[in-house]
Structure formats: C-alpha cells, structure tokens
C-alpha cells in the first residue's frame, strides 16, 4: 500500500516553475491574497521561455515585501539595502556585461528612497530590467503612505487619507529615458508574463510596473475587501491601451487602470555608448575590459 | 601573485597623494571605480577617469555617494576589484553600505580624504575627524580595517595594501587620508609590476554541490564566487546562515556577528602595522598617524635635542588598533602624547589601552590646518616633567 502511494506521487509532474525557485526556502513570507507571488510565477514562466542561460541571469532586490523576491528565485540573487537595488545592479552589469540583470522590488523602495537611482539608471539606459510591484503602500513596515498611494487612500501615516500627488510611474520612466515601459496588474497574468519576457529581451533600461494588491495593509484599511475583491476590481476597471500616452495613465483611488505596453523604442545602452565613444575618441589607446569587449562583440554579431 | 603590468607606471613620479592613491588602485588591479565629486578627494577619481579607459577599467560618476558605495559592491560580485572615493559628507552617506559590505563580506576599498567637519565644515582644509566614524559609523557590530598614509608615497603603497587586506579578510578597508596628504606633492616611486605583491581574491574552487557561501575557512574568512559562475548564490544584508539564506534566529545572529568581529580580532596581529622610532627606553611616546605624524617630528626632535627621552610611534594601520603594544608600553613609560586633528578620537583608544598606567595627553585641533609643532612640543615637555 505505501509503495503504491509512492508510485502515484512520482507520476505527478513537477510544477514547472519550481525549478526557478529556491524550494528549500518555502513557505514564503507573503500574506494570503498578496499579489507578489503571482508576479513571481509570471516571472518564472517568462524565464522558462526566454531561452536565456540561467547561469548568466542575476536578480537584485531592495528592501520590503517585494525585496524578498531575490531570496526565493534560484538565480544569482542579491538582497541589497533599502532603495539601492538599481545602483548595485548598475555595478554588477558594468562589471560583467554578459550578465542579464533584473531588478525586482517595490514602489516605496524604487521610487521613494531609491527614486534618484531609478531616474539616473533610466537616463543612462543601463541595460537592466526593472520589475516594480506597486501595491500603493509600504507593506513590510505596516502600511505607511508611499509616493504611489492614491489621493484619499488611508495609510497608517495618513490616517485621514493621503492628499499628496501620486507618482505616475510609466510617465516617469518614459521621460527619464526607459526604452521599454509597460504596466499590468497581477490579474493580467498572461499579458504580464509576455511583457516580462519582452522586457528581459530588450536591450537597455526596461520597466514593467505591476499593480498588485496588499490585502492586509491597504485593502483592509481602505475597506475595499480582500485579495479576491481586488482581482475583481482589476478585471472590471483595467483598460488595455497599448501605446497609450504615458501622461494619461495616472491612477486614482479605485479608479480606472490603464494597462498595456506604452513604450518600446531604441537608444544606445550605457555600455554600448561607452564602447563606441571611447573607440572613436581614443582609438588604439582605448582598452576595454575583457568582459565588456566580449559582450559588445557578441551583441554586434546578432 | 604580483601585479598585472598593464597600468603599472613603473618609475619615479612627482605627484600628489590623491593621484598616488589612483595609481595604487590601478596597480592593485582595481578595475571598477564609482564616485561622486567632493573636495578634497576629487583628484583621485579624476585621474581614474582619465586612466581607466586605457587599462580596461570602468569608471562611473554616480548620482550620489550612496549609489557609488553600493555600485562598487555590485561590481565586486560581478568579478571586479573596486573602490569608491569621498570626503566627510560623502563618507557619512556611505555608512550604511560599509555595514552592507561587512555583513555580506564584500571586499572593497573606501577612500576618505578627510576634511574639517562637522557637516560641510571646511571643504578644502584638513582634519582627522572621521577616524571613529571609520570604525563605528555603520550600525551594528562588525570589524573593518583602516589605514592612514602620511605621504604621497604611502598613498600609493597603502592603497595596494588596502586592496590586499580587503581580499584577504573580505572586509571593507578604509583608506583614511586627509586633505594635506591628498594635496601634498612629493616624489613617488612606483615599483616594477613583478615587485608589487597582490593578494588574489579567495575564489572557491570546489564542487558546486558542496559550496556553502558563508562557511568560513580556518582564519574565519569564507571563500567567494561571482555572479555568472553557476553557483546561484544568495547574498543578503539580513542575518544569514552558512548557505547565505536569511535566518532570523538569535543563534544564527550570534554565530555570524561573532565571526564578523572575530575575523579581524583574531587576525589582528597579521594586520597591524606601525613604525617606531626610539621607543625603547623612552619616557614619553608620541603616538601619531597621517599628517600629524609629520608635524610631530620637529617637536620630537626639539625635545630630544634638549635631552628628553622621546619615542615616536606612528600608526600605519589604525584599525585594528595595536592594543597590546600600547598596553606593553604603558607599563614602561610615563606618558603618551597624541596629536590629532580632532578633539580626541585615537587618543581615547590610547587612553583605554594605557589603562591608567601612563598618562595620555591629547593635543587636539579643530582642523583647517595642521598642528604647530610648538604645541606638540609643549605637551611633550609637560608630560616629561609630569
């Protein structure tokens, strides 16, 4: 009898995303109904079809609930300081341009404390993909107001609701120079998976904003239900508008969410600009790093 | 292992301490520098910016010192030897990342060309007010190494030493220069590449399955790998176990932090370096470091001329502090005199180690210029007379 059970278990196919996760670290810390796990699933599926050599993919997170993603993904993974995932990733990428570098972090981490790094990495067009989970709140510390908290939404540090203007992140990313900008919600798993795959394949600073629920600290406090209620809200209120002018995609409390791929354009990356500029300017005197030379020539062959 | 000849400008030069520091870094194999402009350290990165494109290095001027001090750590995990350069206000901004480097055991070098503070202070003038900050500036408990050059030649030599120590012990190493040493122009002799000793990164060479990223070797230092080598490492500033995984237990915290402190403590005798001049048989020993070691020389010589028995102990490695040597001396001499461009930092260490057995006189100074030798002389004379 026990043997028979064993055989049945063996015949169950493994969850295809498990190979991309550190299963020895499960269960994860995220709350029931939280959107982060869903996005990690999409990310793993995007990796699966990306055709990338996973030994050459690195993931960098900052601090916060989304900051924990790096700890669960089975890649070279770096859980850095609050707000500083992007400059860490910049150093990593410039040291070894062969690496595919992905930053995966939250709205507070990347656009409040890390906002300056975000705009400068986009300006430089450092070749990295930034996946940002926007849950409109600081989750890990107990639900404080964020630059993304909609006006009138209640947070623990805005007990009467927030009155600050919120960040329109796709507009911010586009105006700073990102070459790929998309927004989805954690309801749009197929679109999101495709978008992450595209962003990872894109050369340059690519940005995917994912609107995701924080049932414990945002939805509950704002009396808008649980994780499932938020999925229904996303489903009923999202409007797919590929190519939308990012100026027009601001979000409001429980209002319409414009999603889609907004920007997909070409600009020389930081590395390529450096290589080309120095080659022109310094001629034979220019000695690039071995890694930089290898990556540059590999790209130009493609 | 010796230095890669690419980039080593063998021969005599007439350059300032900042430029000598840049050349030391290049000779040590540093190939990634991130920095942000700040007086009086800017010349270090200016020279790096000019030299790096010809030696296969990457320099990036980041948006601030916070970014610089973490970009260099990303680059370490990408396989480079790295450095950032700053002065007081920027050094203050970097503190969190000194803790991150200590916690994740990321070998890298922080250069602080000290200027007078607090706050913006006197941007173009010297001080030695960041010595305790170098040791204790980031929150929590950890060990670091700090060096203090007193000439452009030492700016070159000690920058190489800083890189070597950071690789050997996998700690952030602080190069504690000051405006005076940074802008002082002197003869600097750069040796042949084969005469420059380089401590190679302690890369793990075993099988992937057996690799435990934070399992220390006998000297308490673990072996490192880099991103892209297929080890799928996890590096975190959270308290972590030997696999590198976050672990929020008191026992893991105890084991990890104890080791981070102990790896400097138990290896201290291998790290400590100081120079002594006529310390044996002295009644008073002047303890100095950096530029104050040079302003002390005329004072020491004057006192000796007058028949006083004066020793001079100059710290080259300031952290870890040579506790045992000061303890031994304290039981043999009458007094220590410690001139420094602050109102008591290293003198407190001397006092702690002297343990009341010898008196300790601080010759303090707010910075902005160097000591007048006569002030140091007066303190020596007073100490001799008791």
Q: Which of B130, B97, B138 is nearest to B114 (CA)?
A: B130
Residue of A nearest to B246 (CA): A71
What is the token pair recorded at A173? 């990313």
The answer on pLDDT for A210 being more than 70 is yes
Q: Is A2 exposed, middle or buried (0-12, 13-18, 19+ CB in 10 A)?
A: exposed
Residues of A near B (Cβ–Cβ under 8 Å) read: 22, 24-25, 55-56, 58, 60, 70-71, 74-81, 84, 87-96, 98-99, 116-117, 120, 274, 278, 282, 285-292
Given this model, what pLDDT does residue A4 score?
A: 55
Instruction: Name the minimum distance, in Å, from the CA of B71 to any CA of chain A.
Output: 4
A302, with CB counted inside 10 A (0-12, 13-18, 19+), is exposed
CB A279, CB A287: distance < 8 Å: no
CB of B320 within 8 A of CB of B341? Answer: no
Contacts of A296 (CB under 8 A, 6+ apart): A97, A271, A272, A275, A288
Identify the band that residue A290 occupies on the pLDDT scale cut at 50, 70 and 90.
confident
Tell me whether residues A84 and B58 touch, CB distance under 8 A.
Answer: no
Hey, what CATH topology would domain B11-195 get? Rossmann fold (3.40.50)
Distance from CA of A69 to the nearest CA of B (A): 11
Q: A117 contacts in B (CB within 8 Å)? A: 63, 67
Q: Could you give the residue ranges of the DSSP H alpha helices within B170-224? A: 179-183
Tell me the two tokens of residue B48.
């790096």
Tally of residues, chain B: 386
Q: Residue for token digits 């970009």?
A: B71
Whether A94 sits inside 8 A of B75 (CB atoms) is yes
Residues of B with CB below 8 A from A74's CB?
A: 232
What per-residue confidence (pLDDT) applies to B350? 98
Chain A residues inside the 8 Å CB shell of B63 = 87, 116-117, 120
Strand-pair category, A76-79 with A57-61: parallel
CA atoms within 13 A on the CB side of B27: 28
Residues of chain A with CATH 3.40.50.970: 2-266
The shortest CB-CB distance from A25 to any of B78, B79, B245 is to B245
3-state per-residue secondary structure call for A127-158? CEEEEEEECCCECCCCCECCCCCCCCCCECCE
The minimum CA-CA distance between A120 and chain B, rounded to whole Å, is 7
Instruction: Tell me which residue of B234, B106, B104 sits closest to A60, measured CA to CA.
Output: B234
Task: For residue B367, give both structure tokens.
Answer: 């910075």
Option in B62, B78, B97 nearest A95 (CB): B78
Beta-carbon count within 10 A of A266 CB: 10
Q: Domain A2-266 is of which CATH architecture? A: 3-Layer(aba) Sandwich (3.40)
Q: Which two tokens stand for residue A229?
A: 């209620």
CA atoms within 13 Å, Cβ hemisphere of B321: 20
Q: Test B6 with A70 for CB contact under 8 angstroms.
A: no
Q: According to the model, what pLDDT value does residue A289 have?
A: 86
Per-residue pLDDT tens over the stretch A123-160: 999 999 999 999 999 999 999 999 999 999 999 999 99
Query: What pTM did the predictor assign?
Result: 0.97
Cβ distance of B228 and A81 shorter than 8 Å: no
Nearest-5° angle of CA B79, CA B85, CA B91? 115
* Structure confidence at residue A48 (pLDDT): 95
Distance from CA of A81 to the nearest CA of B (A): 7
> Residue B244: its chain A contacts at CB < 8 A?
none
Question: pLDDT by residue (tens digit) across A223-271?
Answer: 999 999 999 999 999 999 999 999 999 999 999 999 999 999 999 999 9
- Taking CB atoms and an 8 Å limit, are B67 and A116 in contact across chains? yes
Nearest residue in chain A measured CA to CA from B244? A71
Domain boundaries, chain B: 11-195, 274-385
**β-strand partners of B277:** B312
Q: Are A99 and A126 in contact (CB under 8 A)?
A: no
pLDDT at A297: 77
Q: What fold does the segment set B274-385 form as a domain?
A: Rossmann fold (3.40.50)
Q: What is the pLDDT along chain B (386 residues), one digit of tens a residue?
A: 999 999 999 999 999 999 999 999 999 999 999 999 999 999 999 999 999 999 999 999 999 999 999 999 999 999 999 999 999 999 999 999 999 999 999 999 999 999 999 999 999 999 999 999 999 999 999 999 999 999 999 999 999 999 999 999 999 999 999 999 999 999 999 999 999 999 999 999 999 999 999 999 999 999 999 999 999 999 999 999 999 999 999 999 999 999 999 999 999 999 999 999 999 999 999 999 999 999 999 999 999 999 999 999 999 999 999 999 999 999 999 999 999 999 999 999 999 999 999 999 999 999 999 999 999 999 999 999 98
Which residues touch B87 (CB under 8 Å, ≥6 apart)? Answer: B38, B39, B40, B41, B112, B113, B114, B115, B123, B179
Q: Find which of B209, B224, B227, B245 to mutate to test the A interface (most A CBs within 10 Å of its CB).
A: B227
What span, in angstroms and rounded, lies between the C-alpha atoms of A27 and A159? Answer: 32
Nearest chain A Cα distance for residue B142, angstroms: 17
Q: Which of B32, B63, B74 to mutate to test the interface with A (most CBs of A within 10 A)?
A: B74
CB contact under 8 A, B71 and A91: yes
Instruction: Say if residue A9's pLDDT is above 70.
Output: no
**Cross-chain CB nearest to A98 (options B63, B77, B228):** B228
Q: Verify cis geometry, omega within 30 degrees of 0, for the bond prior to B40.
A: yes
Per CB-CB distance under 8 Å, the chain B contacts of A285 are 53-54
């Amino acid at each position: 009898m026990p043997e028979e059970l064993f055989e049945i278990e063996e015949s169950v196919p493994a969850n295809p995303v498990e190979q991309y996760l550190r299963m020895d670290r499960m269960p994860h810390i995220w709350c029931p109904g939280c959107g982060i796990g869903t996005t990690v699933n999409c990310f793993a599926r995007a990796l699966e079809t990306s055709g990338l050599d996973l030994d050459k993919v690195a993931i960098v997170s900052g601090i916060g609930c989304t900051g924990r993603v790096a700890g669960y993904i089975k890649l070279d993974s770096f859980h850095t300081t609050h707000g500083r995932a992007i400059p860490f990733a910049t150093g990593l990428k410039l040291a070894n341009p062969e690496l595919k570098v992905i930053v995966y972090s939250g709205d507070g981490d990347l656009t409040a404390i890390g906002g300056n790094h975000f705009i400068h990495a986009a300006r430089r067009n450092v070749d990295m993909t930034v996946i940002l989970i926007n849950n409109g709140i600081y989750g890990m510390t107990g639900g404080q107001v964020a630059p993304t908290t909609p006006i009138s939404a209640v947070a623990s540090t805005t007990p009467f609701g927030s009155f600050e203007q919120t960040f329109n992140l796709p507009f911010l990313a586009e105006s700073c120079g990102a070459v790929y900008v998309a927004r989805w919600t954690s309801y749009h798993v197929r679109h999101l998976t495709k978008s992450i795959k595209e962003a990872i394949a894109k050369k340059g600073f690519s940005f995917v904003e994912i609107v995701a629920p924080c049932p414990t600290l945002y939805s509950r406090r704002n009396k808008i239900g649980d994780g499932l209620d938020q999925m229904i809200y996303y489903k009923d209120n999202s409007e797919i508008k590929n190519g939308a002018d990012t100026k027009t995609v601001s979000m409001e409390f429980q209002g319409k969410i414009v999603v889609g791929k907004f920007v997909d354009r070409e600009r020389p990356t930081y590395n390529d600009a450096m290589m080309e500029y120095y080659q022109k300017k310094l001629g034979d005197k220019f000695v690039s790093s071995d890694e930089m030379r290898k990556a540059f020539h590999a790209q130009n062959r493609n | 292992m010796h230095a890669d000849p690419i980039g080593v400008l063998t021969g005599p030069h007439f350059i300032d301490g900042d430029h000598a520091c840049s050349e030391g870094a290049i000779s040590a194999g540093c190939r990634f520098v991130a920095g942000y402009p700040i007086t009086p350290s800017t010349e270090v990165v200016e020279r790096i910016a000019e030299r790096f494109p010809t030696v296969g290095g990457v320099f990036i001027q980041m948006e601030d010192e916070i970014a610089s001090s973490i970009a260099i750590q990303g680059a370490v995990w990408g396989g480079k030897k790295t450095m950032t350069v700053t002065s007081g206000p920027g050094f203050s901004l970097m503190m969190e990342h000194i803790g991150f480097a200590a916690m994740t055991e990321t070998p890298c070098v922080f250069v602080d060309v000290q200027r007078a503070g607090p706050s913006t202070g006197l941007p173009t003038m010297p001080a030695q007010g960041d010595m305790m900050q170098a040791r204790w500036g980031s929150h929590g408990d950890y060990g670091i190494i700090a060096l203090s050059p007193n000439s452009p030649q030492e700016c070159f030599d000690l920058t190489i030493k800083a890189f070597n120590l950071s690789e050997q012990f996998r700690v952030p190493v602080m190069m504690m220069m000051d405006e005076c040493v940074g802008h002082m122009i002197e003869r600097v002799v750069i040796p042949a590449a084969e005469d420059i000793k380089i401590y190679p990164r302690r890369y793990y060479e075993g099988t992937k399955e057996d690799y435990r990223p934070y399992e220390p070797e006998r000297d308490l230092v673990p072996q490192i790998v880099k991103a892209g080598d297929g080890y799928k490492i996890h590096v975190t500033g959270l308290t972590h176990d030997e696999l590198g995984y976050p672990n929020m237990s008191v026992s893991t915290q105890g084991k990890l932090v104890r080791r981070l402190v102990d790896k400097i403590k138990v290896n201290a005798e291998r790290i400590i370096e100081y120079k002594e001049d006529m310390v044996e048989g002295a009644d008073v020993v002047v303890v100095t470091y950096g530029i104050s070691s040079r302003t002390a020389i005329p004072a020491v010589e004057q006192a000796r001329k007058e028949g006083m028995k004066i020793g001079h102990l100059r710290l080259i490695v300031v952290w870890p502090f040579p506790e045992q040597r000061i303890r031994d001396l304290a039981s043999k001499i009458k007094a220590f005199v410690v001139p420094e461009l602050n109102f008591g930092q290293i003198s407190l260490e001397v006092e702690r180690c002297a343990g009341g057995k010898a008196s300790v006189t601080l010759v303090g100074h707010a910075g902005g210029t160097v000591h007048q030798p006569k002030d140091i002389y007066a303190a020596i004379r007073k100490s001799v007379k008791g």
